[in-house]
Amino acid sequence: MPPPPRLWRVLRESTSDFYFNSWRFLGANILIGALLVVTLFVAAWHPAGLLLGTLLLFPAMGTMRMATRLVRDFHTDLGDFADAVRRPWPLLGVGLVQLAMLVVLVGDILIAAAWRSWAGTLLLVGAGYGLLAVWTYALVAWPLLLDPERDRESLGTRLRLAFVVILVHPVRIGLFGLLVAGLLAVSTALVAPILTFSVGVVWIAIARFILPVADRIEGRATMEVES
């Protein structure tokens, strides 16, 4: 089994993958970017706007399926996007739970910031760690949930594997999670990247980083690993 991939190599290869498959990822990227911008705009006006974030789950799942298929089979098309969106229900439940946890933790951070007391500081620190934990777990879990090599495995097996991956490589996964969050935050602030290419590049990078790490832990000899 090869060692875990290096972050900068993953980003370089993901950018190349997106370039050669841009027409396949562009539509999904525009959809996710537009929904994200609209959700943040409405949420800034009223917190209930965060409910629009549930609509992001469908294109996010479809795009991740395309990314994992590209990593495994070196080819993907919009049929992979449609396949994930057409049968979303078990994965949609996982996504809704994670999204609800993120909303609660963000709300705790906003409340704690307004308290300006020792209790607020404790709540702020706890919510911050919780937010990092949920984000990191989601980052690891979703490529495993949509990995075509693991389609026959149960949902519980793939979710448990995500925990194992984090336990084996906590620092490496944590740094990768912060890097991904930073890239998405900058892309969203600039608007144009999130609407055109950044989601596709980041989703491919997540698949390129997480799948080989999980394969190495399991001792799985896949086409991607052998290549």
Q: What is the pLDDT of residue 3?
A: 66
175 in Cβ contact with 146 (< 8 Å):
no
User: 144-151: long-range contacts (C-beta < 8 A, 24 or more apart)?
Assistant: 144/210, 144/211, 144/214, 145/91, 145/94, 146/61, 146/64, 146/65, 146/68, 146/84, 146/91, 147/68, 147/72, 147/211, 148/65, 148/68, 148/69, 148/72, 148/73, 149/72, 149/211, 149/220, 149/222
Q: What is the pLDDT of residue 214?
A: 94
CA–CA dist 52, 36 (Å, integer) = 9
Q: Report the amino acid identity of residue 48.
A: A
Burial 31-40 (b: 16+ CB within 10 A, else e): bbbebbeebe
CA–CA dist 150, 185 (Å, integer) = 30
CA–CA dist 170, 3 (Å, integer) = 15
pLDDT digit of tens for each residue in the chain (227 aa)? Answer: 556 788 888 989 999 999 999 888 988 889 888 888 888 888 777 767 777 878 889 999 999 999 999 999 999 988 899 888 887 788 989 999 998 898 888 888 888 877 877 777 888 888 889 999 999 999 999 999 999 999 999 999 999 999 999 999 999 999 999 999 999 999 988 888 888 899 999 999 999 999 999 998 988 765 444 44
Computed on alpha carbons and rounded to an integer, the radius of gyration of the chain in Å comes to 18
Where do the structural domains in the chain lie, given as residue ranges? 7-226
- Whole-model pTM: value is 0.88
Q: What is the pLDDT of residue 124?
A: 84
Q: What is the pLDDT of residue 221?
A: 63
Q: What is the pLDDT of residue 223?
A: 46
